[in-house]
A = this chain, B = another copy of it.
Amino acid sequence: MSASDSAGLPAPNPIATPAPKPRVARVAPKPRPSKRPRRVAPGELPLGQILAGDCIKQMNALPEGSVDMIFADPPYNLQLKGDLHRPDNSKVDAVDDAWDRFDGFSAYDRFSRAWLKAARRVLKPGGTLWVIGSYHNIFRVGSALQDEGYWVLNDIIWRKSNPMPNFRGRRFTNAHETLIWAARDEGGKYDFNYEALKSLNDGVQMRSDWVLPICSGAERLKGEDGKKAHPTQKPEALLHRVILGTTQPGAVILDPFFGSGTTGAAAKRLGRAWIGIEQDVTYRKVARARIDAVRPYDMESLRVSASRRQAPRIPFGQVLERGLLTPGQMLTSGNGRHRAKVRADGTLVAHDVSGSIHQVGAALEGAPSCNGWTYWHFEGPAGRAPIDLLRQQLIAELDS
């Protein structure tokens, strides 16, 4: 289904609630096949449509200064070489699609500058841009948008609660992606729903790091073959926070790399108008069907899932890093029968055993398991105390 197939549908973005700043543009009366973009007059934006073809050409065909916010998930230029297998020998289904391959950094930079320039033209004066990326591309994109005149407002870290691990043990688990939020111009006024975000976050200011799970399970769109319909579908919770936080109801949101249409789905749920651009006909079909099926959220359930805080887990190593204990220091067991020395990596050594606080405790006691936090004691200013006291100190800090 291409964008034109949806021409007869009713406007997919009825604005259900009164907007503080009504900004709804009229839907184009007769949208036409759009692979070859046609100049669009102001006031006839192709709202609720997925335009086909190259996003730069399509953006250049839109009227200048007509869009409130742009969310862009451009190719990351991952530069993968060989295959990667998990320890169980299964193969990782990597992103090796043709659209993610570029001929070096300078080709990628040219591409970035081109779409960023076109995007900036269609933004309204108070408009903002969101881009998401990883370390492969985000520095290129960030520099390019600064060069193009955008003004960075924040960088936002999406901390994945369930990232793919690092299988070879050669790097840190790549457990986050970076978003950049930028205004079209320095000093311009832009939309920021401070209070809405604060209440979304249990009454405290929304920070620049967001903990959200990756898109999986029922939310992940599948093809007829049961495989994932899009290799990099973003979770709707991410877009929910972006849209709720930085646009007004009725705003026009443009996504030049529409993919599976997460931006459109979230926008529709939240009463914002949207325009998508996507080259791949299969992705367009998937996105169209998805968005047509969208019904407004049960807002209460979304709020809970988005703001759920996880209980802080304090590794013993952090007690060392924070200097509450020192490598070389001796710990004693609560019953006074055993001693062990702390090492710089958070393991203990006692005679011929070494390992975590739990492992060494269990080994010395000949027990199947042992809670090292309560088993081991240190000599504190007020006498001997379990090291759990130190953990409590760190947990208390996190709460404050």
Interface residues of A (CB under 8 A from B): 85, 89, 97-98, 101-102, 105, 134-136, 138-143, 146-147, 149, 152-157, 159, 161-163, 165-166, 169-176, 178, 180-181, 186, 192-197, 199-203, 205-209, 211-213, 219, 236-237, 240-241, 244-245, 270, 297-298, 300-305, 307, 313, 315-318, 320-323, 326-329, 341-347, 349, 354-356, 365, 367-370, 397-398, 400
Contact = CB atoms under 8 A, between A and B. Distances in A.
A105 B146 CA distance: 8
A121 to B, nearest CB: 15
Given A213-B397, A301-B341, A315-B201, A154 B180 contact: no
28 contacts: A101-B149, A101-B186, A135-B152, A135-B154, A135-B180, A139-B141, A139-B142, A139-B180, A162-B397, A169-B205, A171-B192, A175-B209, A199-B356, A200-B315, A200-B345, A201-B315, A201-B317, A202-B316, A203-B356, A213-B322, A237-B323, A244-B345, A301-B328, A301-B343, A303-B343, A304-B345, A305-B345, A305-B355
Q: Which 9 A-B pairs have the closest CB atoms?
A: A139-B142, A200-B317, A301-B327, A202-B315, A237-B321, A196-B345, A135-B155, A175-B207, A301-B328
Given A142-B135, A173-B205, A321-B200, A98 B149 contact: yes
A237 B322 contact: yes
Contacts of A171: 153-154, 192
Given A199-B346, A270-B344, A369 B317 contact: no
A378 to B, nearest CB: 14
A77 B206 CA distance: 25
Contacts of A153: 171
Given A101-B146, A173-B208, 9 more contacts: A85-B368, A89-B365, A97-B186, A135-B155, A138-B142, A159-B209, A202-B315, A219-B323, A300-B349
A175 B210 CA distance: 10
Contact of A157 (B98, B157, B316, B365): B157
Contacts of A397: 161-162, 213
B304 A209 contact: no
B156 A157 contact: no
Given A200-B315, A313-B202, A400 B162 contact: yes
A343 B300 contact: yes
Nearest to A186: B97
Contact of A147 (B105, B154, B203): B105
Nearest to A141: B139
Nearest to A374: B87
A147 B102 contact: yes
A190 to B, nearest CB: 8
Contacts of A97: 186
Contacts of A192: 169-171
A327 B297 CA distance: 6
A205 B89 contact: no
Contacts of A156: 172
Given A165-B205, A169-B194, A89 B305 contact: no
A370 B90 CA distance: 11
A2 to B, nearest CB: 29
Nearest to A370: B89
Contacts of A143: 105, 139-140, 142-143
